[in-house]
Chain A
Amino acid sequence: MDDTDRLLLTLIQREFPLSERPYAEIAEKAGVAESEAIARIEAMREEGFIRRMGASLNPRALGYVSTLAAARVAPGKIDSAAEYVNRFVEVTHNYERDDAFNMWFTVIARDEAAVAAIIDDIRNNSGADEVIDLPATHIFKIKVNFDLTK
């Protein structure tokens, strides 16, 4: 990746235009031709720097309910607990972390009852010693785009 690639990648993360020729607008900001912007971005996608081009929707605005849960799992049981947890399509992310609460996962579903049922199921059946439910009470910031030009 050169500086132009990094600038393009920063621009298309930040605000990809909802217009007929979005790459023409991006290209203009980056000072290259539309065809060059498209070729460079396609190359970055083929090389795997770009995972997806598209929209991220706001689950809350669409009526979905989500939570973050922390589980305390005996070290030898992490793999089997993760296997149990990951089977739920409503579990979108799951990480092993270096803490007594060592498995952290997000649950997103159509309503609170559905989320509660999944947490309860995992609490009772995954082999975790303890599961705490940590739904957000306030969202201060969600920013998933990164400035790669610095």
Chain B
Amino acid sequence: MEFAENEIRLLRALQEDLPVRERPYADLAARAGMSEAEALEIARRWKEAGIVRRMGAFIRHRKAGVKANGMVVWDVPEERIEEAGRAMSARDCVSHCYARPRSDKWPFRLYTMIHGATDDVVKEQARLISEELRIENFRILFSLRELKKSDTKLFMEEDR
């Protein structure tokens, strides 16, 4: 995918922190070296095309009261991946749902992040999903420690 120089500057600026003021995109556009109208038009086009996945606030979940989360991995038979993946995704408490390859060392095929107020709420949600979908072999991997968390920054100077 090819981008013009000012589009790359806009991609970078979009990944920075937008000011909280009346016209936040004016500032963004200035950083990209284009007009506010132009920046908005390109950003809307990227949103439409799925290049911008989401625009908005990124919160600190724990501080905002979404305190617990667990990665729950599910051993789902091949022919049920699609159905089970959709059913899990339909739940509010599930923020992420991915299929990943099975191996002899790791039998699990579906991966969900389940959020709740406490670890017990996460366990209960996993149990409900297990019961409803009749998937008995699953495991909850709570995180013991955050070893690294950084914003994914794309199209930065260092990788060009």
Contacts and interface: CB of A to CB of B under 8 A. Distances in A.
7 contacts: A12-B57, A48-B60, A52-B151, A53-B57, A55-B52, A68-B100, A135-B100
Contact of B58 (A56, A97, A138): A56
B65 A52 contact: no
B33 interface: no
Contact of B15 (A16, A54, A64, A82): A54
A96 B23 contact: no
Contacts of A12: 56-57
Nearest to B148: A94
Contact of A57 (B36, B53, B147): B53
B64 interface: yes
Contacts of B158: 89
A142 B148 contact: no
Contacts of A23: 20-22, 24
Task: Tell me what chain B mostly uses at the interface: helix, strand, loop, or mixed.
Answer: mixed
B64 A148 contact: yes
B142 interface: yes
Given A85-B147, A140-B97, A146-B95, 6 more contacts: A9-B59, A52-B151, A54-B14, A57-B14, A62-B154, A144-B54
A129 to B, nearest CB: 11
Given A13-B57, A20-B23, A140 B64 contact: no
A42 B20 contact: yes
A61 B48 CA distance: 12
B93 to A, nearest CB: 10
Given A18-B44, A57-B52, A101-B106, A50 B59 contact: yes
Contact of A41 (B20, B55, B61): B20
A56 B53 contact: yes
Interface string A1-45: 100000001001111111111111000000000100010011001
Interface string A78-94: 00001001100101111
Nearest to B139: A99
A93 B58 contact: no
B20 to A, nearest CB: 4
B14 A97 contact: no
Contacts of B134: none
Interface in B57-109: 57-61, 63-66, 71, 81, 85-86, 88-89, 92, 94-101, 103, 105-106
A124 interface: no
A47 B148 CA distance: 22
A132 interface: yes
A136 B98 contact: yes
A85 B149 CA distance: 12
